[in-house]
Amino acid sequence: MTETSLTQIEDFIGSSLLLASAIHRVLEESAFREAVGRDLTESQLKLLRLLNLSESHTLGEVSAFLGVSNAAASKAVDKLVSRMLLRRTEGEKDRRAIRLTLTDPARRILAAYDAALQRKLKEVFGRFSAKELLDATEILNCFTSRILCNEDPKEGDCLQCGMYFPERCVREQAGGCCHYQSRRGGKKES
């Protein structure tokens, strides 16, 4: 095996960043504009998608996932509550324990976004064989795992992998800890 040059590594990183940017800009933003228009921001949609992953969440969990302060998370939630896309209820035992749930209009927005995104994904990625996608997925997961293994497990921002892989965290798969789970004070159930 030949030694990898710094130029090859930089080319790989550049190509990876371009791929991520293209996926975000061309696919996700396009689906976002088609389904949501100007009714929401991307951050608000991300928050709705998070809350759609389970029945309800607390403000602290939203704060941990977005990597913002409780005050910033509260402000984001307030906007969605005022637009009747989120419902906020106080805990029965502890009034400070606020639970957040999606409303039906929010579920309709998410369904429209998911349908638009799926159409875009099929249009672009349908040109590849199942084997090509599987091989690329395995390679990307290998690189991600190796990169995360070189990171201090106590450092770093949430990769928000739960938006794409609700059942697993890529940091945990690489032998580290899930920053979202540790910030929210819990451990992901296996």
Distance CA 89, CA 111 (A): 24
In a domain, 133, yes or no: yes
The secondary structure of residue 151, as a DSSP letter, is S
Question: Looking at 4-8, 33-37, 80-84, 146-150, which range is the least confident one?
Answer: 146-150
Q: What percent of the chain has pLDDT over 70?
A: 73
The secondary structure of residue 165, as a DSSP letter, is -
In a domain, 135, yes or no: yes
Question: What is the per-residue pLDDT across 149-168, written as a single tens digit (0 to 9) for each?
Answer: 766 655 555 666 655 655 66
In a domain, 182, yes or no: yes
Distance CA 118, CA 116 (A): 6
Judge whether 55 and 100 are in contact, CB under 8 Å.
Answer: no
In a domain, 81, yes or no: no
Question: What is the per-residue pLDDT across 46-91, written as a single tens digit (0 to 9) for each?
Answer: 889 888 876 667 787 788 777 788 888 889 899 999 999 999 887 6
Distance CA 129, CA 97 (A): 48
Domain tally for the chain? 1
In a domain, 190, yes or no: yes
Q: Measuring CA to CA, which residue among 153, 170, 162 is closest to residue 57?
A: 162
Q: Measuring CA to CA, which residue among 108, 109, 115 is closest to residue 31?
A: 115
Longest dimension (CA), the chain: 63
DSSP 31-76: HHHHHHTTSS-HHHHHHHHHHHTSS-EEHHHHHHHHT--HHHHHHH
In a domain, 165, yes or no: yes
Half-sphere exposure of 161 (CA within 13 A, CB side): 22
In a domain, 11, yes or no: no
Domain that holds residue 146: 129-190
Question: Looking at 17-31, 47-61, 132-146, which range is the least confident one?
Answer: 47-61
Judge whether 98 and 58 are in contact, CB under 8 Å.
Answer: yes
Q: Strand ranges (DSSP E) for the chain?
A: 57-58, 86-90, 98-102
Judge whether 68 and 104 are in contact, CB under 8 Å.
Answer: no
In a domain, 149, yes or no: yes
Token representation of residue 71: 């005050």
Amino acid (1-letter code) at residue 65 = F
